[in-house]
Amino acid sequence: MPTDDLQSVAGLVTALHGGNRRALARIITHIENGSAFAQPLLMALYPAGGRAHIIGVTGAPGTGKSTLVNAMALAYRQAGCQVGIVAVDPTSPFSGGALLGDRVRMRDLAGDPGIFIRSMATRGSLGGLAQATADTVLVLDAAGFDRILIETVGVGQSEVEIASTAHTTVVVEAPGLGDEVQAIKAGILEIADVFAVNKADREGADRTVTALKMMLSLGVPDKHQVMHHGRMLPITLPPHDPDPSAWMPPILKTVATQNQGVAELVAAVEQHRFYLEQSGTRELRDRLRAATELRMILRDVLLRRVLDQTPTASLDAMVAAVAERQLDPYSAARQLLLIP
Ligand SMILES: Nc1nc2c(ncn2[C@@H]2O[C@H](COP(=O)(O)OP(=O)(O)O)[C@@H](O)[C@H]2O)c(=O)[nH]1
Ligand SMILES: [Mg+2]
């Protein structure tokens, strides 16, 4: 009978590295709740991260992301990988048990310690959903999962932010949802490394493929440029991908419910992983991830420090002064930060 200590930070970390799944679940709960253990745990686990390949799966609601993620997880599992799944989509039916059309196979996965599924609470932790997701991914990475799949609904800035922290982003399209290519509307075309046209058993799949091909031939802005300018990263970036056109996002047709095309999709993701490593682009992406995360945390820490130092009454007074235009918010912020 293992006597793992799950009551202390050190005990939890040791148990996690020993493969204890209860420790894993408990650590993630600490992080989601923003408990006093959260930060010490993340600090202790950080050095052990950086090995997993992180795969974002994003697209409009109903395109079949959850079904596809399950099928991909199964394929990876059969290839001997340990697979973590983080569902940011609150409607994802990951916890109910009926995960795939093919339920028998999913039953094989239930109780399999090589797979771990977690749905993010919509409220997220202190730093918001993007931070909570990044923290959860770190824990899974440190726990030794080889592939981590993140499902996000492709709407809203934070969704794009979460997706863009992945090494490989799969954008899922489906025919017959109105617009020919929903990724354009959602602003996620740029972050695609691989396209999956799911529900290829439905009419219109070929039209969707053609539309995507046309879009890609028009040229998509370089992902790193977009991220760089979008976030004004105050860091020196490593040299760009020597040949940005070296990777053309492949377009694959899938029928997730019947497990069709899933092996090919996984193969494309693995090819992209290989490409990232060979071209040195993985290093660049990890650098961008680090920069984004550091900025996110810095903002959080600074805000909290200022709020801790400022009595509520004086903060209220300052808000009132700004609202009445006796004080502008820029000067107010400088005063709070003690900048002369
Ligand atoms: N016909 C068909 N239905 C699918 C396919 N993939 C998923 N679905 C169904 O589409 C619905 C939405 O799937 P879900 O995975 O929850 O989509 P999500 O909202 O993108 O996560 C479910 O009823 C699935 O069974 C597919 O390839 N073909
Ligand atoms: Mg879903």
Residue position matching structure tokens 């340990």: 82
Span 35-91, pLDDT tens digits: 999 999 999 999 999 999 999 998 888 899 989 999 999 999 999 999 999 888 665
In short, whether 82's Cβ falls inside 6 Å of ligand 1 is: no
Q: How confident is the model at residue 180 (pLDDT cuts 50, 70, 90)?
A: low
Shared domain for 70 and 195, answered yes or no, is yes
Q: Which pLDDT tens digit goes with each residue over 271-304?
A: 999 999 998 888 888 888 888 788 888 888 898 8
pLDDT at 331 over 50: yes
pTM of the model: 0.84
Asked if 211 and 148 sit in the same domain, the reply is yes
Indicate whether 27 and 90 sit together in one domain. Answer: no
Same domain (yes/no): 104, 130: yes
Query: How many angstroms separate the alpha carbon of residue 100 from the centre of ligand 1?
Result: 9
For residue 116, the CA-to-ligand 2 centroid distance in Å is 16
Q: Are residues 239 and 176 in the same domain?
A: yes
Same-domain check for residues 12 and 88: no
The larger pLDDT score, comparing residue 299 to residue 326, is at 326
Per-residue pLDDT, 219: 65
One domain, residues 76 and 195: yes
pLDDT score for 146: 96
Q: Domain check: are 111 and 23 in the same one?
A: no
Which residue has a Cα nearest atom 28 of ligand 1?
Answer: 199
Residue 73 shares a structural domain with residue 128 = yes
Residue 252 bridge partners (DSSP): 196
Average pLDDT rounded to a whole number, residues 5-18: 95
Domain that holds residue 41: 1-48
Query: Is residue 22 pLDDT above 50, yes or no?
Result: yes
Residue of minimum CA distance from atom 24 in ligand 1: 64
CA angle 55, 57, 61 (to 5 degrees): 165
179: domain CATH number?
3.40.50.300
117 is a domain residue: yes
Cα–Cα distance, 104 to 124 (Å, whole number): 32
Q: What is the pLDDT of residue 315?
A: 93
